[in-house]
Amino acid sequence: MKINEEKYVNLIMYILFRCGNKPNLGKTVLCTVMYFIDFGYYELYGEFLTKETYIKSKRGVKPKHFRKVTQRLMEKNQLFLRKEPYYNRILHRYYPTVIPTSKFSPEELSVINSCIKKLSDANAYTITRHAWADKPLRNAEMGCEIDYDDVFLRNRNK
């Protein structure tokens, strides 16, 4: 499945613009929020938002195309990365250098804003624990793709 790069870039930039001032928003939190947005949208509407492939990793979820897309944005000077101390850790924090243009439908914005509100204040440890409890991530094998269809198992036998 080929990602919808325009939606993907818009999603990254929108999350960063809305939450960039939060001291906890490093790469892990950003990627996990994106995972919950993509899977939440698929659960509600049966359609893919960004078409990103997420991989189960030791640190929770790993978006397959994240590095490539953020690198491209940094090359275009639309994004920059800083490594910053956060308690006893180093956060990889992304900062947008342009104001994003929201190109989302009302349904998409509803899911996006709901996930941001619910999850963006969590630190990496808390949000990763939350993701590990999610049925799609639990069902995936380590290092393998997380199946979008497993969202329909979320409310069964938690």
Which residue range forms the structural domain that includes residue 97? 5-153
- Looking at the domain assignment, is residue 81 inside a domain? yes
Residue type, 63: P
Name the DSSP class of 74: H
- Looking at the domain assignment, is residue 19 inside a domain? yes
| Residue spans of the chain under pLDDT 70 | 156-158
- Looking at the domain assignment, is residue 33 inside a domain? yes
- What separation in angstroms does the CA of 152 have from each of 35, 72, 98, 156? 15, 34, 37, 8
What pLDDT score was predicted for residue 156?
62
Nearest Cα neighbor of 27 from 16, 36, 14 is 16
- Looking at the domain assignment, is residue 158 inside a domain? no
pTM of the model: 0.94
- Looking at the domain assignment, is residue 114 inside a domain? yes
The tally of domains found in the chain comes to 1
DSSP letters, 117-147, are HHHTTS-HHHHHHHHHTSHHHHHSPTTSBPP
Residue-wise pLDDT for 36-64, tens only, equals: 999 999 999 999 999 999 999 988 899 99
What pLDDT score was predicted for residue 158?
46
